[in-house]
Amino acid sequence: MGNEVRLADLAVRIGARLVGDGEVVVTGISPIEEAGPGQVTFLSNPKYVRYAKDSKASAIIAREVVPGAQPAFLLSDNPYFAFACAVEVFHPPARPAPGVSDKAVVEPSARLGRDVAVSPFVVIQEGAEVGDRTVLFPGVCVGKWVSIGPDCLVYPNVVLYHGVKVGSRVILHAGCVIGSDGFGFAPTPDGYRKIPQVGTVEIEDDVEIGANTTIDRATLGVTRVSRGTKLDNLVQVGHNVVIGRDTVIAALVGIGGSTRIGSRVMIGGQAGLAGHLEVEDGIMLGAKCGVPDTLHASESRTWSGVPAMPHPTWLRMAALLPKLPELFRRVKRLEEGKPPRGR
Amino acid sequence: MGNEVRLADLAVRIGARLVGDGEVVVTGISPIEEAGPGQVTFLSNPKYVRYAKDSKASAIIAREVVPGAQPAFLLSDNPYFAFACAVEVFHPPARPAPGVSDKAVVEPSARLGRDVAVSPFVVIQEGAEVGDRTVLFPGVCVGKWVSIGPDCLVYPNVVLYHGVKVGSRVILHAGCVIGSDGFGFAPTPDGYRKIPQVGTVEIEDDVEIGANTTIDRATLGVTRVSRGTKLDNLVQVGHNVVIGRDTVIAALVGIGGSTRIGSRVMIGGQAGLAGHLEVEDGIMLGAKCGVPDTLHASESRTWSGVPAMPHPTWLRMAALLPKLPELFRRVKRLEEGKPPRGR
Amino acid sequence: MGNEVRLADLAVRIGARLVGDGEVVVTGISPIEEAGPGQVTFLSNPKYVRYAKDSKASAIIAREVVPGAQPAFLLSDNPYFAFACAVEVFHPPARPAPGVSDKAVVEPSARLGRDVAVSPFVVIQEGAEVGDRTVLFPGVCVGKWVSIGPDCLVYPNVVLYHGVKVGSRVILHAGCVIGSDGFGFAPTPDGYRKIPQVGTVEIEDDVEIGANTTIDRATLGVTRVSRGTKLDNLVQVGHNVVIGRDTVIAALVGIGGSTRIGSRVMIGGQAGLAGHLEVEDGIMLGAKCGVPDTLHASESRTWSGVPAMPHPTWLRMAALLPKLPELFRRVKRLEEGKPPRGR
């Protein structure tokens, strides 16, 4: 806040083309419903075009000029990306100062990189490694032989069980749990016998994991979240799951053990995937869908419903569900030899 | 426990009308299946009337006398409210003693009100404020510039990210996370670019938030939970969501970004709401429903199903779903020119 | 790792019958896709028989010999159990050394058994008891008057609210919350009045609770998880719920208040159960199903769908859902007196 930036300079910094007066100075960024003079705002969703027309903002980041709007425009083919850059201009990221709190416990055999920040009440157990400039917020527990790469942000009360590997520039939000035991029990006449879970978890570079999300360690081998993938809050990832690159998974999704999810997959909130199946690259799963079997992109790129069906089929089906009582009545009339209603 | 109270006095304290002997002394409160002599119990659900008839309890809090039952009755138009009062008579709330543990870390720039309780391993970061008589249980992390009002209960391991605001008499259950980053990423040819999340969260007075629930900060602006609203455990509230007053949200509900929920709304467990929609005041959403678009109270007050439809429609539809195979067979017979089965 | 075991000895230790050369030495256990010479692997799911045929592993634990496969076989009627035993041969469990960290806070009135491990930043409050050999990982909060039995593993940042009881050999995974307030509020003209939650939770022997799972205390009385039951991650158990013995509940399941679940029940992921109902012994609930009312095993042992119906009915129904648009068209043709398509 309080940064003063000329629109001409802002356009350069966010890779946008300016339509308007480059000498105008802006000092902040606000949502389109609220932005006033001296502020930049952002138009993505077409629902909000009406706000653009009446906006008192100094400039709007958008894909194209909105006819009749007063503000200057900062045009980009990827306005959401330009918006991300503009937010950083006004809110440069601030990392906690490096240093190891005397209220933390760091085992002597643990190795810390340069400029690491270790907050109070962090525990770093035997043999663990933390990369340069990584920040561990209060209450984080880094188990034995865990490895965390450089430039990570590990928010308060995150738990990394022993042996888990985390790459570079990873963000782990508060309360997420990486490496808890997979859910495996052998039935016996005397009740369940626990299958020891002796595998691990690997979180690759540039992954972000949401608050209170849980990722189980593999029974044997590795549960993997690949480079660039983003998980929202309260997601459950079962043992031995493999998630590809640049995949996005919304909140409250559950993924059963040993399932393989491809790259550039998008999964809507509260979707559920059974174990031992595959979701191919580039597939989109609708919110709340239930996936019992492998999904092939060649059959459909988008899937919805329980059990999951191609999204266009689901749309037609869903529109008819409320008319099911009417259909039963119509069939009954046909059976009785009566003409359809309204004839 | 151990409190001795005459029924006549109890009636006054809970605002009920006594039918029975006011001199009888009661010392505790128990569920209706278990309550014995000397105990008060409670009848709300009509399912349990049979227990009332055989009850050995000394008194039953209810809306009306159950004919044939032995105990005295404490009658109230709001028996659930009277029950709440009675529980407090026998179990007066006990707050931890005030004081700041020498095992906590409180930054010098943080401000604590009077009679605050700060437990071991709490961190209160720079510029944070904690109101009078508020209790912080062990392991709570209060981020920079957070403000918490008076008379709050913040249970163990709650995380408040920087800048979050919490009102008065708020209860935050263990492990809940307030102010984690919203889930926003701009796609680029090289993968996703994080949208910095520079807004905040405001939790108004008299709100209660369940264990391990997560509430994301706004991208810009504020994610808001308004006065008197109650969230159960494991609920996900996305960035820029606004929830009105006295709304009740059951466990495992997910609410997409920028959605607006009215006041006095009730949302059943595992319901899911997409982003950028509105649920008007007073609407009830059934458990497990999926809401893709704005819901208007004028169309229906109750909604169920995926996608959500008026609850009466859903009830009729749901009753017919198991008969769908039969309907297909009936239509096939009609097509074949055969008479309906059973004629 | 690094253990050298003769196959003949391994067969004895895991209770299997060896088909092959007992002198062969194995040193580890791996998934069937990856196992090489010197390793044992495991065949359960018939999907993986093809891997068995080409496997370079030294031995395969299975129910029967796979014709044409090279490795030795370790045959068992309960191969999953034999596998569990074999994992322990190569990965014997390692508990943290006993001892009480000087960075923990243990109230003088708390009682610790022999050889308890209390990690840094653990809090054990007044009157609490911890049984022999139990391990409390960092950041665990044991509330007042809590009782934990012997030989438990309590992973980091678990929270046990006051008065909760935990049996023997219980495993509580990171971040789970036991004993948070049940979700109960009496509506009043001025908003909701909280019902004080003065009951407790009892977790019986040999239970395992997943990461970030939440179990609410009873309003009055007890919320109970009975002996041998296993809960996965992110499960919500409401106040006054009673769960029987040897029941298995997958991730993201929600169970409404006062519901009673029998013994040897299996509940699939993301299933939801309303409050005040019963699920009888031995019932299986499919993933994502929604249970509004009591389910009787005499009517069906397996249930699926929303609302839940017998699983065979659901399977037939679900297969027809995508054909609903076609059915509407067929009925329309019948009403119009046209012959069916394709005749």
The chain C residue lying nearest A175, using CA atoms, is: C175
Nearest to C201 by CA among C169, C171, C240, C229: C240
**Dist. CA C103–CA A102, nearest whole Å:** 11
What is the greatest pairwise CA distance in chain A? Answer: 87
> Within a 13 Å sphere around the CA of B174, how many CA atoms are in the beta-carbon half?
30
| Contact status of B97 with chain C (Cβ, < 8 Å) | no
Residue A318: band (very low, low, confident or very high) from pLDDT cuts 50, 70, 90: very high
Q: Which CATH class is domain B99-317?
A: mainly beta
Distance from CA of C131 to the nearest CA of B (A): 22
Radius of gyration of chain B (CA): 26
| A247 within 8 A of A263, measured Cβ to Cβ | yes
Would you say residue B260 has pLDDT above 70? yes
Answer whether A177 sits within 8 Å of C45, measured CB to CB: no
To the nearest 10 degrees (0 to 180), the angle between helices A7-14 and A79-90 is: 120
| Contact status of A285 with chain C (Cβ, < 8 Å) | no
Average pLDDT of chain A is 95
Would you say residue A320 has pLDDT above 50? yes
Sheet strands (E) in C9-58: 17-19, 25-26, 28-29, 39-42
B279 has which bridge partners? B261, B295
Cα–Cα separations (whole angstroms), residue B302 to A135, A319, B249, C165: 47, 19, 14, 40
**Dist. CA C222–CA C273, nearest whole Å:** 19
Question: Given this model, what pLDDT does residue B339 score?
Answer: 87
Question: Strands across the sheet with C266-267, in order?
Answer: C99-100, C117-118, C135-136, C153-154, C171-172, C208-209, C230-231, C248-249, C266-267, C284-285, C302-304, C309-310
Q: Which residue has the tokens 């043999």?
A: A127
DSSP 8-state secondary structure symbol assigned to residue B295: B
Would you say residue B262 has pLDDT above 50? yes
Question: Given this model, what pLDDT does residue C94 score?
Answer: 84
| A150 within 8 A of A131, measured Cβ to Cβ | yes
Sign of the C-alpha dihedral, residues C197, C136, B153, C127? positive
Q: Give the H/E segment covering residue C83.
A: helix C79-90
Would you say residue C69 has pLDDT above 80? yes
Tokens of B155: 């249970």
Average pLDDT estimate for B183-187: 96
Nearest to A83 among B187, B195, B339 (CB): B195
**Dist. CA C297–CA B92, nearest whole Å:** 43
| C186 within 8 A of B78, measured Cβ to Cβ | yes
Average pLDDT estimate for B72-79: 95
> Within a 13 Å sphere around the CA of C292, how many CA atoms are in the beta-carbon half?
13
How far is C-alpha A111 from the geometric centre of its chain's CA atoms?
30
> Within a 13 Å sphere around the CA of C112, how many CA atoms are in the beta-carbon half?
22
Would you say residue B31 has pLDDT above 80? yes
Residue B2: band (very low, low, confident or very high) from pLDDT cuts 50, 70, 90: low
Nearest to A286 by CA among A261, A306, A316: A306
Nearest to A135 by CA among A88, A101, A180, A163: A101
The verdict on whether omega for the bond into residue B307 sits within 30 degrees of 0, i.e. cis, is: yes
**Dist. CA A147–CA C249, nearest whole Å:** 32
Number of Cβ within a 10 Å radius of residue A299: 12
Distance from CA of A129 to the nearest CA of C (A): 18
**Dist. CA A187–CA B5, nearest whole Å:** 52
| All structural domains of chain A with their residue ranges | 5-90, 100-317
Active-site annotation of B, residues: 239
Distance from CA of A313 to the nearest CA of C (A): 6
**Dist. CA A160–CA A202, nearest whole Å:** 11
Say which residues have a Cβ less than 8 Å from residue B67's Cβ, sequence separation at least 6.
Answer: none
Number of Cβ within a 10 Å radius of residue A180: 28
The chain A residue lying nearest B304, using CA atoms, is: A322
Nearest to C53 by CA among A247, A223, C62: C62
**Dist. CA B191–CA A245, nearest whole Å:** 9
| C209 within 8 A of C203, measured Cβ to Cβ | yes
Say which residues have a Cβ less than 8 Å from residue B310's Cβ, sequence separation at least 6.
Answer: B299, B300, B302, B303
Identity at A170, one-letter amino acid code: V
> Within a 13 Å sphere around the CA of B273, how many CA atoms are in the beta-carbon half?
34
Which parts of chain B fold into alpha helices (H)? 7-14, 49-54, 79-90, 311-320, 324-335
CATH code that applies to domain B5-90: 3.40.1390.10
Question: Given this model, what pLDDT does residue B1 score?
Answer: 46
**Dist. CA C342–CA A246, nearest whole Å:** 46
**Dist. CA A115–CA A99, nearest whole Å:** 7
- 113-172 of C, contacting B, C-beta below 8 A: 121, 123, 139, 141, 157, 159, 161
Average pLDDT estimate for C215-229: 97
The chain C residue lying nearest A304, using CA atoms, is: C322
Task: State pLDDT tens for residues A48-66.
Answer: 888 888 899 999 999 999 9
Identity at B329, one-letter amino acid code: R
| Region of residue A238 (phi > 0: left; psi between -120 and 50: alpha; otherwise: beta) | beta
- Label the pairing between strands A254-255 and A272-273: parallel
- Catalytic residue, chosen from A91, A173, A239, A311, is A239
Task: State pLDDT tens for residues A243-282.
Answer: 999 999 999 999 999 999 999 999 999 999 999 999 999 9
**Dist. CA A155–CA B125, nearest whole Å:** 14
DSSP 8-state secondary structure symbol assigned to residue A88: H
Question: Given this model, what pLDDT does residue C287 score?
Answer: 98
Answer whether A212 sits within 8 Å of B216, measured CB to CB: no
| C96 within 8 A of C116, measured Cβ to Cβ | no
**Dist. CA B129–CA C142, nearest whole Å:** 27
Do domains A5-90 and A100-317 share one topology? The answer is no
Radius of gyration of chain A (CA): 26
| B62 within 8 A of B53, measured Cβ to Cβ | no
Tokens of C150: 């012997």
Active-site annotation of C, residues: 239
Percent of residues, chain C, with pLDDT higher than 70 = 99
Would you say residue C343 has pLDDT above 60? no
Tokens of B108: 């010098």
| B328 within 8 A of B339, measured Cβ to Cβ | no
Tokens of A78: 């990827």
| C149 within 8 A of C205, measured Cβ to Cβ | yes
Percent of residues, chain A, with pLDDT higher than 70 = 99
Number of Cβ within a 10 Å radius of residue C117: 21
Average pLDDT estimate for A193-202: 97
**Dist. CA B289–CA B268, nearest whole Å:** 8
Touching partners of B (3+ C-beta pairs < 8 Å): A, C
Range scoring the smallest mean pLDDT among A86-100, B203-217, B289-303, C272-286: A86-100
Nearest to C136 by CA among C88, C101, C161, C180: C101
Q: In this predicted complex, what is the ipTM?
A: 0.96
Residue A1: band (very low, low, confident or very high) from pLDDT cuts 50, 70, 90: very low
Give the DSSP letter string of C130-152: E-TT-EE-TT-EE-TT-EE-TT-
Residues of B in contact with A83 (CB under 8 A): 186, 195
Would you say residue A187 has pLDDT above 60? yes
How far is C-alpha A103 from the geometric centre of its chain's CA atoms?
32
B303 has which bridge partners? B285, B310
- Helices and strands (H and E) in chain C: how many: 5, 40
**Dist. CA B219–CA B196, nearest whole Å:** 7
Residues of A in contact with B221 (CB under 8 A): 30-31, 34
| Contact status of B254 with chain A (Cβ, < 8 Å) | yes
The chain C residue lying nearest A195, using CA atoms, is: C84
Cα torsion C37, C38, C44, C48 to 10°: value is -10
Tokens of A117: 């920040």
- 70-89 of B, contacting A, C-beta below 8 A: none
Sign of the C-alpha dihedral, residues B92, B97, B103, B105? positive
How far is C-alpha C324 from the geometric centre of its chain's CA atoms?
37
**How open is the CA angle A47-A50-A55, to the nearest 5 degrees?**
125
Would you say residue B343 has pLDDT above 80? no
Task: Identify from A27, A40, A233, A245 which residue to disrupt to test chain B contact, counting B C-beta atoms within 10 A and taking the largest count.
Answer: A233
| A151 within 8 A of A168, measured Cβ to Cβ | yes
**How open is the CA angle C1-C7-C9, to the nearest 5 degrees?**
90
**Dist. CA A161–CA A179, nearest whole Å:** 5
The chain A residue lying nearest C231, using CA atoms, is: A183
Give the DSSP letter string of C146-185: -EE-TT-EE-TT-EE-TT-EE-SS-EE-TT-EEEEPP--E
- 216-245 of A, contacting B, C-beta below 8 A: 227-228, 230, 232-234, 245
Range A100-317: architecture per CATH:
3 Solenoid (2.160)
